[in-house]
Amino acid sequence: MSDSVYRAPLGTHDVLAPESQRWADAVAAFADRARRFGYGLVVTPIFEHLEVFQRVGASTDVVRKEMYEFEDKGGRRLALRPEGTAPVVRAFVQHRPPVPWKVWYLAPHFRYERPQKGRYRQHWQLGAEVLGVDDPEVDVEVIALAHGFYRDLGLTRTRLLLNSMGDAESRPAYVAALRAYLLDHGAGFGDEFRARVEQNPLRVLDAKHEDWQDVIERAPQLTEYLSDDAVAHFERVQQGLASLGIEYELAPRLVRGFDYYTATTFEFVSDALDAAQNAVGGGGRYDQLAEDMGGPPTPGIGFGIGIERVLIACDAELGEERAAAPRIDVFVVDALGDGAATMLVAELREEGLAADRAYGGRSFKAQMKLADRSEARYVVMLGKREAEHDAVAVKDLRDPDGTQIEVLRRDVAGWLQARREAHRDDHR
C-alpha cells in the first residue's frame, strides 16, 4: 500500500495547534458579531438530496463538474454541500420559521476544484443569510456584517465590489441582448462557448478563458437594463453603505457563480492575495430561490466567507506572528510530586487562566524545557523551600534578567490575573 493513502486527500488539509487558534479566534469574532446583529446559528446536514444543490443552477461549474455526489446504501442520490445557501433555504422551506429569519453558519464545503493556494476541495465558510425581507436596509446590514468582520480581524486591504443583477422584470431583456451580442462576437470560440451562451450567457461573463476576455470586456452591461424598481433598490443600498462609511466600487461585470442571484450582488476581494483567489467572501440576493424549492415567495440575501482565504490574507497583511494569539498564560512546574500541582493547575483554570503542566514525573529540568516550548509567559514552580512558607516561585519568561519572585500560594491566581490584565493594557 502506498504511503500517500495516509495523507490528507488532495485539496484538503489539517489544521493543527497553534495555527488552529487563529481559526478559533476568527470563528469566535464572527459568532460574536452575528449575535450582536441579531443572527442565530443554523446547522444543516453536511449532505443533502442532490436536487437541493442542483437548484444553484444547471449552468454553474459547481453543478456541472465540481459536486461530490454519491448514492447511499438505500439508493438515494445525495451530495456533499458545495455551497451554503441552498441548504439554508431548504431548511427555511421545510420549517417555515417566522420572518425575518436571520441566521449564520460555520460549515465545511466541498468542491472538486483544481487545488492551489487558497483553493481547496474542502474549504470552510462562515456565512449569514436573511430570509423574508426585500428592504434594501437588509442588504446594507448583511454587507456591514461581513465588512465589520474583516475589520475585527485587522484587515485593511479588502475592497467591496458591488453590482445589481436586476429583477425578474429586467433580467430577461438583458440575457437576450447578451446572448445576441456573444453569438455575434464570439462565433469563433468553439463549442464550450456556444453551449454556455445557449444555456446561460451570464456564465460567459465570469469565465476565466483568456481569449474570451476582449469580447467579455465590451459586452453590454446589466446595469443598463435594470428596471426602475431595481435601480431604486440598488441606489438605496448604495446610500445605506455610504451612510455607514462603507466604501464600495461598482463592478458591472460581477455576476457571481450561481444562477440564483437577483438584485444586489457583492464580493470582498483582498489586495494581499493573488488575483486568481482574491475573493475573501461574496454573496447577494436570491429572491426566487425559496419559491423554486416549493416554498412561499420569500426574498433572501446572504454571503459566504472562506475561512482559509481570510487567514491567508491575515498572514499576508499582519504577519504570522501578530495573527497568532499566545496559547497559554502559565505553566506549572512541579518539584514536589505530592499532588499540589494538580490542585494548583485546576484552581488556575477555574479562575479563567490558561494553565498547563507536564505529565509523567519529568525531572525539573525537563519540565522547564516544556514550559519554554509552551510559550507561556509565566512559570509557577512548586519547590520545597517555598512550600515551607506556603509560597510558590514565579518567573516571567520574557524578563531578560530571569528574576524569580515568591508569591503566597493563596494569592497566586489573583497575582497572575492582575499581571495578565496589565499586559493587555500594555498592548492597547
Of 209-217, 306-314, 341-349, 364-372, the segment contacting ligand HAM by CB under 6 A is 306-314
- In the complex, what is the shortest distance from the CB of residue 83 to ligand HAM, in angstroms, rounded to a whole number? 4
**Of the residues 57, 87, 282, 299, which one makes contact with ligand HAM according to CB under 6 A:** 282
Alpha helices per DSSP H over 351-388: 364-373, 384-388
For ligand HAM, the binding residue among 59, 60, 125, 158 (CB under 6 A) is 125
Contact flag: residue 120 with ligand HAM (CB under 6 A): yes
Q: Which residue, among 16, 18, 14, has the nearest Cα to 327 in the 3D structure?
A: 18
Amino acid at 427: H
Among 127, 166, 240, 299, binds ligand HAM (CB under 6 A): 127
CA 335/CA 93 separation, integer angstroms? 62
CB 272 within 8 A of CB 176: no
What is residue 97's DSSP assignment? Answer: P
Instruction: Kindly tell me which of 103 and 345 has the beta carbon lying closer to ligand HAM.
Output: 103
The verdict on 87 binding ligand HAM (CB under 6 A) reads no
Contact between residue 33 and residue 145 where contact means Cβ atoms under 8 Å apart: yes
The binding track of 308-347 with respect to ligand HAM, each residue x by CB under 6 A or -, is xx--------------------------------------
- Which string of x and - marks every residue 225-264 that binds ligand HAM (by CB under 6 A)? --------------------------------x-------
Q: Which of 48, 61, 129, 317 binds ligand HAM (CB under 6 A)?
A: 129
Q: Which of 44, 59, 60, 85 contacts ligand HAM by CB under 6 A? A: 85
Contact flag: residue 302 with ligand HAM (CB under 6 A): yes
Q: Which is nearer to ligand HAM, 113 or 134 (CB)?
A: 113
Sign of the alpha-carbon dihedral angle for 33, 39, 41, 44: negative
Cβ contact 133:299 at 8 Å: yes
Measured CA to CA in angstroms, residue 9 lies from 4, 15, 79, 308, 328 at distances of 8, 14, 18, 17, 32
- C-alpha to C-alpha distance for 391 and 406, rounded to whole angstroms: 6
CB of 300 to ligand HAM, least distance (A): 8
d(C-alpha 350, C-alpha 381), whole Å = 19
User: Which parts of this chain interact with ligand HAM (CB under 6 A)?
Assistant: 83-85, 111, 113, 118-120, 123, 125, 127, 129, 257, 279-284, 302-306, 308-309
